[in-house]
C-alpha cells in the first residue's frame, strides 16, 4: 500500500462548485484540495446535503448546466475541469466509471439485466457478442448472483434491491476501470445485502487494483471499506487522514460528534442541523453546533492545518 500511495491518480486543487438558482447562488463545494492514489479506497463521509454527490459529479463532469466548476483537477496529469466533454467522455466509461446514487432506479426497466451490463462492455471493446456475453456471465458469477445464467435474462423489476445493486456494480466494473466512483452503494439495502455489496467492493479493489472513491453518510460503511477518510461538513473538508486516525481518534469536533452519535457509542447526536448551503454562517461553518466554539470561531474561518502523517484538520483548537 505504501508504494502505491506514491502513485497519484487524481490531484484536485481548490475545486469549487456554484449553482445558479432563482434565489441566492449556492456554493455547494468550497476549495476542495485532495489527492487520490492508485489502488486506494478513499471514503467521503458527511451528513445529507453537505455536497458529497456534487463533489463526485463535478469530478466526473456530470453536473447539470446551472453548475459552475472552478479550480483544477488532474487525472494522470491531465487537467479535466477545462477539458472538453467529448475528450473526458472517452475516459468515463473506460478508465473511469461511476455507480451513481439511487442506483436501484437507474437501470433501464425495458432492457434485460445481462444486456445492460453487456452494452457497457460493447461500447468499449470490439469483441463479438458471444465473447461479451461470456465475460458478463462470468462477472455476474463472481458477484454471486443466483440463478445464473437465467437471471441475466430477467428485467430489473424481477430482481430484489440487492441484486439490482450488484447488476449496477457489474455495469460499473465490467470495463475494468482504474477509477470507480461509488455513491451511496448501500442506501436502502437491508443488512444482508449491505454486507454483500461491501464485501464485493472490497474484493474488487484487491483483485483489480481499482481506485475507489466511495461516497457515504454511513460511518460503518466507511469503517469497513476505507483506507483513507475525508470528512465533509457544509461544503468543505473538515478533516482527513488514514481510516484508523479519523474514525477511531478523530480530532475535529464534528468528526467526534459523528462517532459519538453511533448506536454503539450511545446515540449522542450532534445538536442542531447542518446549515443550508445558501445560509453558511460566518467564521467556522461548524461553530453554531460546536461545544468548544469561542469568539474567534464565530469571526474567523479556519484553514486546513497539517497535523503530519497525511492528516489535516480545519479547527483552530484541534491537536493530533
Q: Interface residues with ligand ATP (CB under 6 A)?
A: 19, 21, 26, 28, 46, 48-54, 64, 66, 101, 217, 277
- Residue 5's alpha-carbon distances to 56, 79, 233, 243, in angstroms, are 21, 20, 25, 14
CA 175/CA 91 separation, integer angstroms = 11
Least distance (Å) between residue 49 CB and ligand ATP: 4
Q: Which does 54 bind (CB under 5 to 8 A by kind): Mg ion, ligand ATP, none?
A: ligand ATP
Smallest distance from the beta carbon of 223 to ligand ATP, in angstroms?
Answer: 17
Residue closer to Mg ion, measured from CB, 236 or 245? 236
Rounded to the nearest whole angstrom, what is the least distance from the CB of residue 276 to Mg ion in the complex?
Answer: 15
Min separation Cβ 52 and Mg ion, Å = 5
- In the complex with Mg ion, the residue whose CB is nearer, 56 or 162, is 56
Cα–Cα distance, 320 to 312 (Å, whole number): 9
Nearest to 198 by CA among 221, 173, 179, 168: 221
Backbone angles phi, psi at 56, to 5 degrees: -60, -45
CB of 22 to Mg ion, least distance (A): 22
Instruction: Kindly report the number of other CB atoms within 10 A of residue 4's CB atom.
Output: 14
The partner in contact with residue 217, picked from Mg ion, ligand ATP, none with C-beta cut-offs of 5 to 8 angstroms by kind, is ligand ATP
Nearest residue (CB) to ligand ATP, 64 versus 146? 64
Strand segments, DSSP code E, in 5-147 are 8-19, 26-37, 41-45, 67-75, 78-79, 96-99
In angstroms, what is the C-alpha Rg of the chain?
A: 20
Contact residues for Mg ion, defined by CB under 5 A: 53, 101
* Residue 95 vs 184, nearer CB to ligand ATP: 184
Amino acid at each position: 500500500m505504501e508504494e502505491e500511495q506514491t502513485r497519484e491518480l487524481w490531484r484536485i486543487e481548490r475545486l469549487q462548485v456554484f449553482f445558479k438558482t432563482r434565489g441566492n447562488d449556492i456554493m455547494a463545494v468550497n476549495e476542495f484540495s485532495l489527492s487520490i492514489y492508485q489502488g486506494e479506497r478513499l471514503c467521503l463521509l458527511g451528513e445529507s446535503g453537505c455536497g458529497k454527490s456534487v463533489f463526485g459529479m463535478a469530478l466526473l463532469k456530470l453536473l447539470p448546466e446551472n453548475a459552475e466548476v472552478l479550480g483544477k483537477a488532474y487525472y494522470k496529469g491531465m487537467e479535466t475541469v477545462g477539458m472538453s466533454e467529448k475528450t473526458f467522455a472517452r475516459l468515463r466509461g473506460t478508465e473511469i466509471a461511476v455507480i451513481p446514487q439511487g442506483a436501484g432506479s437507474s437501470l433501464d426497466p425495458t432492457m434485460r439485466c445481462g444486456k445492460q451490463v453487456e452494452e457497457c462492455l460493447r461500447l468499449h471493446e470490439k469483441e463479438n457478442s458471444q465473447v461479451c456475453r461470456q465475460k458478463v456471465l462470468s462477472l455476474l458469477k463472481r458477484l454471486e448472483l443466483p440463478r445464473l445464467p437465467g437471471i441475466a435474462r430477467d428485467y430489473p423489476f424481477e430482481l430484489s434491491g440487492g441484486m439490482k445493486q450488484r447488476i449496477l456494480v457489474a455495469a460499473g466494473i465490467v470495463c475494468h476501470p482504474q477509477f470507480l466512483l461509488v455513491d451511496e452503494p448501500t442506501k436502502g439495502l437491508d443488512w444482508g445485502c449491505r454486507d454483500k455489496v461491501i464485501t464485493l467492493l472490497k474484493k474488487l479493489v484487491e483483485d483489480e487494483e481499482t481506485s475507489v472513491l466511495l461516497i457515504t453518510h454511513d460511518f460503518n460503511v466507511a469503517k469497513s471499506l476505507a483506507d483513507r477518510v475525508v470528512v465533509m461538513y457544509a461544503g468543505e473538508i473538515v478533516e482527513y487522514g488514514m481510516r484508523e486516525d479519523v474514525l477511531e481518534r478523530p480530532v475535529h469536533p464534528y468528526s467526534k460528534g459523528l462517532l459519538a452519535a453511533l448506536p454503539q457509542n450511545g446515540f449522542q447526536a450532534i445538536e442542531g442541523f447542518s446549515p443550508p448551503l445558501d445560509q453558511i454562517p460566518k467564521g467556522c461553518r461548524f461553530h453554531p453546533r460546536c461545544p468548544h466554539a469561542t469568539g474567534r470561531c464565530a469571526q474567523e474561518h479556519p484553514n486546513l492545518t497539517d497535523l503530519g502523517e497525511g492528516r489535516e484538520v480545519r479547527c483552530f483548537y484541534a491537536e493530533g
